[in-house]
Homo-oligomer: A and B are copies of this chain.
Amino acid sequence: MKKQINIGLLGAGTVGGGVILVLKQNAAAISHRVGVPVKIKKVYARHPEKATNLDPDLAVTDNVDELLNDPEIDIIVELMGREQPAKDYMTAALKAGKNVVTANKDVIAKFGNELLGEAAKQQKDFMFEAAVAGGIPIIRPLKACLAANNITSIMGIINGTTNYMLTKMLQNHEDFDKVLKEAQDKGYAESDPTADIGGLDAARKLVILASIAFNTRIDLKDVYVEGIEKINIRDIEYAQELGYVIKLLGIAKNDPKTGISVRVHPTMLPMNHPLATVNDVYNAIYVTGDIVGETMFFGKGAGRMPTASAVCSDIIECSRNILHDCNGRIGCTCYEEKHLCSIENIYSPSYIRLLVQDKPGVLAAIASAFGSQNVSLNNVIQKKKVGNLAEIVVITYGVSEYNLRMAETTLNGLPVVEKISNVIRVEDNTLE
């Protein structure tokens, strides 16, 4: 029986520093729960003082091989971020017969399959609970707690920056640019916020969730991505009037008829939906299974300590596996051939905001344009005057993306239509 679990930590930045703090602060509890102490044997860091400022007893090196080749190190914890050299180091660690824990969503989304394959070959653990939704337990719940279910749908608020911005736009009636500035000032948005705002960050996480949920390998290029750049304060206010809130959702659905659809886009949700009240930088993942029905997992999706909580839970689980000699107990769960639904076949109600000429017969012309493309309307509302034009908001019943786009083309051809200002998908069972 081993007397201690030894960790080699790659990276002592925000999350790496958090892990150093947690393993020190809660050492007694973790030791009890694992059965033996869990210690960081060595840290690989470019700036050694980042590690030693948090725990002066730590051994730090700038030579990664000292960790990868140390036979006493049981688990390599990779918290360097970015694709390379993180991916190569993890591969080397697995090949050297070590278990690997990481929070690196970029690497998992792109190379998860390869790394899980290597882990299976070596019968080692490759764990990444922290890669999606920070402190919220979701990978392990999907792989274990909901494993009796065929998951039919995942809808997640999995990007804190955009959720903070949309919350502030709604609560303070402030426009996009102002809340973005505010988010940057508070450190919730990066100076280059493109990956968050454009939906790419959410798409990477969704790829990981969908692959696990549907037991098939989803790639980033399978994801349809729209960001929140086009969301106007008016859309938010109209949504509120209609009983909806706008959230940037990652949506992955598995429809036995049409296949798997995976998309990130702004979405209108009924105000009484459990995701609708998830505000600020909080994240939540709403999972529907054929047996369990609806479940939701809520918490902090980012930040040093929440993310460190998830990393350390993997360290604890991996340590338990080491002590019971069962690493690789749960490996890659992708055993299905994927069958993707083309974007044209994605079916959902929609909200359309249009600028039209303010004269009699316009509503009828618009309704007729929708009708010509088999789009049924639930609601057509003339909202307000904009100069000598009128703003109109339309809510459709469930419609295929193909028919919706045809309707947009038809509308753009109408002389009375000045422009289609925005189109936002609606998740509302009552309109399907």
| Interface residue ranges, A against B (CB under 8 Å) | 22, 25-26, 29-30, 32-33, 129, 135-137, 140-141, 144-150, 215, 272, 274, 277-279, 284, 289-300, 305-306, 308-310, 312-313, 315-317, 320-321, 324-326, 328-330, 333, 335
**A279 to B274 alpha-carbon distance, docked (Å):** 10
Q: Which residue of B lies closest to A317 (CB)?
A: B144
Contact status B313-A144, CB under 8 Å: yes
**A420 to B152 alpha-carbon distance, docked (Å):** 51
Contact status A313-B277, CB under 8 Å: no
> Could you pull out 14 A-B pairs where Cβ atoms are within 8 angstroms?
A22-B148, A32-B333, A32-B335, A135-B291, A137-B295, A140-B140, A147-B317, A148-B313, A149-B309, A274-B277, A295-B297, A295-B300, A296-B299, A324-B324
Contact status A30-B147, CB under 8 Å: yes
Q: How far is the CB of A390 from chain B (nearest CB, A)?
A: 36
Q: Which residue of B lies closest to A149 (CB)?
A: B309
Q: Which residues of B contact A146 (CB under 8 A)?
A: 137, 309, 313
Asked whether A147 and B297 contact (CB < 8 A) given A26-B290, A326-B326, A326-B329, the answer is: no
Partner of A29, one of B29, B150, B296: B150
Q: Which residues of B contact A135 (CB under 8 A)?
A: 291-293, 295
Q: Which residues of B contact A315 (CB under 8 A)?
A: 148
Partner of A291, one of B274, B312, B317: B312
Q: Which residue of B lies closest to A140 (CB)?
A: B145
Most chain-B Cβ atoms within 10 A of its Cβ — which of A29, A284, A316?
A29
Q: Which residues of B contact A274 (CB under 8 A)?
A: 277-278, 298
